[in-house]
């Protein structure tokens, strides 16, 4: 807890203390803080709920070639895995790449707020600690979405091309970003939607949705059908429920109320239309979450930025300094309380304890095996998932130098069926310094 709390104290103290910095000093401090966060996230070790999953992915990346990685549903992330594994950087290389993009997005969006340190106070408990330290792929796509937002606000030359490029790049890593693509059609003033972006980007979205339709069906089954809070275990024994999803969806309610209370005041900001859309989406998620807890919980991570944009701007609307300071103290105390409650009482928080750091330390697996192209044939996602089963199979049969599974009288498991017509020694090679 010391590591996380020490980090959190930086934006807290910068927010509540009466010390004020000039613009350049403040910018330098923001860069230093977000850089430290990116490094700590990048070099984390056995931290976060998805650590074990990505560990298997990195091991599996050693078992396939680059062309196989291109055939997966998330080719961008799989290529990153393969490159990091090939260079011997392992998970640290992947995490550092993703955390750099994520924290750069956080830096950009906080820097542009009236009170950037208050924005970081709001972002730290869940967005940085839980998402940044825990969800490697999605944190990166959230960072990319923040960069899309900043480009949309700046509206400089080639901003539209930059926005489309960032969306497509994010799609290669996590397809959930595609759901929020219609938001970029909004215009800050004049016509509600941008006809140019619709003409260019909408056909791309429709094509990708059609091309990955079977994948979308699978995601729907896992994230919606099997994650309904009102079903019982007897009704569905294969469930993927996010039990804290409802509580997390409620956290946007105070921000929504404040936004509509000060709706006229928000006219000074160019993103008021976007905030209206985000508030309506947040309200719909409150009612939809019980029917697909995991899906709407994961999508709700993108909407944490709504709290950041609302709470960090409200102090501008108060006439009296005392009320402004009281508001800042209340918001800071609230998010410190949220952090302490989650860290000490959430069931999932154990995966974040203790924080450990490793700088590109390679892990060596003695007598490990690399799967050949022929045996994979290539369903690389399935191969990565079943790699441990293959390892058990090799441990079982590998002692015979010319052993063929067809000669065995044993009942073959699903993994053994894949190899039943092959000579193991022709399909697998031993690598005594199998590292990642």
Domain boundaries, the chain: 1-173+319-362, 212-317, 364-435
Residue 19: φ, ψ to 5°: -70, 130
Distance (Å) of CA 109 to CA 117, 142, 313: 11, 11, 13
pLDDT at residue 227 in the model: 55
Per-position b or e across 36-63, b if 16+ CB within 10 A of its CB: ebbbbbbbbeebbeebeebeebbbbbbb
What is the pTM (predicted TM-score) of this model? 0.79
Question: What is the spatial distance between Cα 253 and Cα 104, in angstroms, rounded to a whole number?
Answer: 27
Q: What is the pLDDT of residues 165-222, one digit of tens each?
A: 898 898 888 888 877 877 777 877 777 777 777 777 778 777 777 776 776 666 666 6
Point out the residues of the chain with pLDDT beneath 50.
233-237, 363-381, 383-384, 398-416, 418-436
The gap from C-alpha 77 to its chain's centroid, in whole angstroms, comes to: 12
């Amino acid at each position: 807890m010391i590591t996380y709390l020490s980090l959190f104290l930086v934006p807290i103290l910068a927010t509540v203390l009466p010390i004020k910095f000039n613009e350049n000093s403040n910018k330098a401090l923001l860069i230093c803080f977000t850089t430290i966060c990116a490094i700590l996230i990048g070099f984390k070790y056995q931290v976060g709920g998805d650590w074990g999953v990505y560990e298997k992915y990195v091991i599996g990346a050693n078992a396939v070639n680059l062309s196989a990685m291109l055939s997966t549903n998330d080719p961008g992330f799989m290529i990153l895995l393969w490159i990091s594994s090939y260079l011997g950087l392992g998970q640290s290389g992947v995490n550092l790449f993703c955390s750099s993009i994520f924290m750069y997005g956080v830096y950009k969006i906080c820097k542009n707020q009236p009170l950037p340190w208050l924005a970081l106070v709001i972002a730290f408990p869940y967005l940085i600690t839980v998402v940044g330290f825990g969800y490697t792929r999605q944190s990166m796509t959230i960072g990319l979405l923040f960069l899309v937002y900043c480009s949309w606000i700046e509206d400089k030359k080639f901003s539209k091309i930059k926005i489309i490029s960032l969306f497509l790049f994010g799609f290669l890593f996590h397809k959930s970003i595609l759901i929020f693509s219609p938001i970029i059609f909004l215009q800050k003033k004049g016509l509600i939607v941008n006809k140019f972006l619709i003409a260019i980007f909408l056909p791309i979205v429709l094509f990708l949705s059609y091309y990955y339709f079977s994948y979308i069906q699978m995601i729907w089954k896992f994230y919606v059908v099997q994650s309904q809070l009102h079903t019982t275990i007897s009704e569905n024994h294969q469930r993927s429920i996010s039990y804290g999803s409802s509580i997390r969806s409620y956290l946007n309610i105070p921000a929504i109320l404040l936004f509509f209370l000060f709706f006229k005041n928000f006219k000074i900001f160019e993103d008021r239309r976007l905030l209206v859309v985000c508030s309506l989406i947040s309200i719909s998620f409150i009612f939809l979450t019980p029917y697909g807890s995991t899906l709407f919980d994961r999508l709700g991570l993108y909407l944490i930025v709504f709290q950041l944009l609302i709470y960090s701007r409200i102090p501008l609307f108060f006439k009296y300094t005392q009320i402004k300071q009281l508001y800042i103290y209340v918001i800071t105390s609230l998010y410190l309380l949220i952090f302490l409650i989650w860290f000490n009482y959430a069931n999932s928080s154990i995966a974040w304890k203790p924080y450990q750091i490793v700088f590109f330390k390679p892990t060596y697996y003695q007598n490990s095996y690399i799967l050949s192209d022929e045996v994979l044939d290539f369903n690389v996602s399935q191969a990565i998932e079943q790699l441990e089963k293959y390892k058990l199979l090799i441990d079982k049969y590998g002692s015979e130098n010319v052993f063929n599974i067809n000669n065995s009288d044993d009942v073959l498991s699903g993994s053994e069926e894949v190899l039943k017509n092959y000579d193991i020694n022709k399909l697998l090679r031993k690598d005594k310094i199998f590292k990642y």
